[in-house]
């Protein structure tokens, strides 16, 4: 769903200038997304497009999901601690609201032109990723890495917070494969692993963002 303002002539010129400069740095499947969607407007469900809009400062601030997630994190955690952001995307936007000195980005699709000023790891996060150096693991739509974040964080006694997307990565044995079932599965996994050591909660973005998917958060009780 397109939730942003109608693009102005100036907006379109900025987008064209961006794509002329950076298009070839994107993998083929993301180039296809740019071809089909970049001129449609700011949306509630496409990180590739929204990151471009935010980078170019043509987003609507009151419906910016990265800013909304940052405000959520700020109200729940001490953001001066060491943070690992998983699945930061081709253009890291969330980190621009944080203190970059204590944040490390992790995403194999990071584009060098946009991450060179940050601490980064160009790898895919998994359940065995070493997170000893971090106090908080976060992710905005980290997709397939989501379950690994939950398992790894709880196993290593770390706080975590993940803004979920509409994808579904349920194990193969699940017949009903919907985003809702995937989110229920993640919540159940988190509670089973955490037991009494964590507060596991589900929250939602403000209605004006038109994001139906929840935020799952785990905070250590002690």
- The domain segmentation of the chain, as residue ranges, is 9-60, 64-220
Q: Specify the CATH superfamily of domain 64-220.
A: Vaccinia Virus protein VP39 (3.40.50.150)
- The DSSP annotation for 165-218 comes to -S-----TT-S---HHHHHHHHHHHHHHHHTTSEEEEEE---GGG---S-EEEE
**pLDDT of amino acid 60:** 86
The pLDDT tens digits of the residues spanning 30-41 come to 999 999 999 999
Polymer length of the chain = 222
CB 54 within 8 A of CB 66: yes
Write the pLDDT tens digit of every residue in 105-131. 999 999 999 998 899 999 999 999 999
pLDDT at 52 over 90: yes
Q: Helix or strand or coil: residue 138?
A: strand
State pLDDT tens for residues 2-11: 999 999 999 9
- From first CA to last CA, the distance across the chain in angstroms is 41
Q: How many CB atoms lie within 10 A of CB 174?
A: 12
State pTM to two decimals.
Answer: 0.95
């Amino acid at each position: 769903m397109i939730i942003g303002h109608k693009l102005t002539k100036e907006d379109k010129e900025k987008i064209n200038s961006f794509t002329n400069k950076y298009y070839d740095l994107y993998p083929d499947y993301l180039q296809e997304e740019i071809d089909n969607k970049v001129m449609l407007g700011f949306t509630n469900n496409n990180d590739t497009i929204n990151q471009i809009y935010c980078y170019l400062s043509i987003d609507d601030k009151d419906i910016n999901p990265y800013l909304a997630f940052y405000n959520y994190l700020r109200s729940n955690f001490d953001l001066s601690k060491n943070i690992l952001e998983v699945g930061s995307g081709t253009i890291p936007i969330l980190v621009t609201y944080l203190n970059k000195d204590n944040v490390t980005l992790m995403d194999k699709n990071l584009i060098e032109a946009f991450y060179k000023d940050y601490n980064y790891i160009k790898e895919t996060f998994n359940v065995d990723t070493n997170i000893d150096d971090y106090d908080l693991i976060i992710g905005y739509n980290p997709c397939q890495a989501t379950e690994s974040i939950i398992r790894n964080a709880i196993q290593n006694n770390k706080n975590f917070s993940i803004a979920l997307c509409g994808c579904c990565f349920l194990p193969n044995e699940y017949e009903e494969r919907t985003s809702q079932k995937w989110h229920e599965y993640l919540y159940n996994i988190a509670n089973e692993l955490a037991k009494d050591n964590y507060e596991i909660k589900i929250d939602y973005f403000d209605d004006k963002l038109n994001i139906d998917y929840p935020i799952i958060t785990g905070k250590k009780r002690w």
